[in-house]
Amino acid sequence: MENRVGVIGIVVTDRENQADRVNQVLGGFGDIIVGRMGIPYRERNLSVIALIVDGDTDQIGALTGKLGAITGVKVKSALVPHIEFSN
């Protein structure tokens, strides 16, 4: 299966109770995460996380599925079609 590059947007609406679970899932998929930016929005008790990923659709689907199964977590992803990268 070919790798795809994309962005995953994550909103954690119960930051205080779910941050550890989210980080545990992300750590398990560290091999497909190219970059991560997270912004805690303390006044609203939520966090917004943007991930750049490079993995096959099964890996990316497993990551988004595990994140989406956590109460108080919303996930959206956008993947680019297969692109031939030249050196």
What pTM was computed for the model? 0.88
Interval 2-53: pLDDT, tens: 899 999 999 999 888 898 999 999 999 999 999 999 999 889 888 999 999 9
Is residue 74 included in any domain, yes or no? yes
* Domain membership of residue 27 as a residue range: 4-79
Ramachandran bin of 42, using left for φ above 0, alpha for ψ from -120 to 50, beta for the remaining angles:
alpha
Q: According to the model, what pLDDT value does residue 87 have?
A: 57
Q: According to the model, what pLDDT value does residue 50 have?
A: 98
Count of domains for the chain = 1
Q: Which of 8, 13, 9 is nearest to 47 (CA)?
A: 13
CATH of the domain at 42: 3.30.70.1150
Q: According to the model, what pLDDT value does residue 51 have?
A: 98
Is residue 67 included in any domain, yes or no? yes
- Strands, DSSP E only, in the chain? 4-12, 33-41, 46-55, 73-79
User: Is 84's pLDDT higher than 60?
Assistant: yes
Is residue 24 included in any domain, yes or no? yes
64: Cα within 13 Å, side-chain hemisphere: 22
